[in-house]
Homo-oligomer: A and B are copies of this chain.
């Protein structure tokens, strides 16, 4: 719980301000309206600052989402070390993913944008991949070197697949299904075998 220092907090604050401005503009006026110039103007900063923090608009839009994905691994680490990894995943992922995704209609809009724009898709996949890597690390830690082979990468990969699949299904389904239940079901299916 050590404070990261004022400097880092300020940097994170500007990043968050830019990312939120980008996110807000995306929902309000569509992807075309999101540019380094417009976003930095909305956040009351210089365009050069935008490019100091982000490579492009897609990275800015998904930056907060990316950080929350990376925090999933930390939530797993907070679980009892002796707990089986599958129990940790089933306990952490459903509620956390529900919290991250927020409102269904808003998230559906995001997914539609991602589906329509190749650059947005690529950035979203990058976010998921980094999430996968961080999850693989914590799984390997938990296993304690018991599985030096493909197990951590395999398990982290299928977990991310479950998240992505469940979220997509939930967002595009109009019958109002419960995201936590869908994700829990996906994870459980994989755990017990998909035959």
Listed in ascending order, the chain A residues whose CB lies under 8 Å from chain B are 55, 86, 118, 121-123, 125-126, 128-129, 149-150, 153-155, 157-158, 160-162, 164-166, 168-169, 182, 185-186, 189-195
Q: Determine the distance from Cα of A186 to Cα of B152 in the docked complex, in whole angstroms.
A: 12
A190 and B154 contacting across the interface, CB-CB below 8 Å: yes
Q: Determine the distance from Cα of A166 to Cα of B126 in the docked complex, in whole angstroms.
A: 20
B194 and A158 contacting across the interface, CB-CB below 8 Å: yes
The complex is assembled from copies of this chain, and their number is 2
A194 and B155 contacting across the interface, CB-CB below 8 Å: yes
Name the distance in Å between A56's Cβ and chain B's nearest Cβ.
11
Main secondary structure of the interface of A (DSSP, over half): helix
A153 interface neighbour in B123, B128, B160, B168, Cβ under 8 Å = B168
Are A195 and B191 CB-contacts (below 8 A) given A126-B122, A161-B157, A165-B154? yes
19 sample A-B contacts, Cβ–Cβ < 8 Å, listed by A number = A86-B194, A122-B123, A125-B126, A125-B128, A150-B166, A150-B169, A150-B182, A153-B165, A154-B165, A154-B186, A154-B190, A157-B158, A157-B162, A157-B164, A158-B161, A190-B190, A191-B195, A192-B195, A193-B193
Name the distance in Å between A139's Cβ and chain B's nearest Cβ.
11
Name the distance in Å between A97's Cβ and chain B's nearest Cβ.
14
B153 and A169 contacting across the interface, CB-CB below 8 Å: yes
What would 4 more interface pairs be, CB under 8 Å, given A125-B128, A150-B185?
A149-B169, A153-B165, A154-B189, A158-B161
A150 interface neighbour in B123, B186, B195, Cβ under 8 Å = B186
Contacts of A162 in B (CB 8 A): 154, 157
Q: Quick one: which of A126, A164, A165, A186 has the most chain B CB within 10 A?
A: A165
**A129 nearest CB neighbor, chain B only:** B125
Name the distance in Å between A27's Cβ and chain B's nearest Cβ.
24
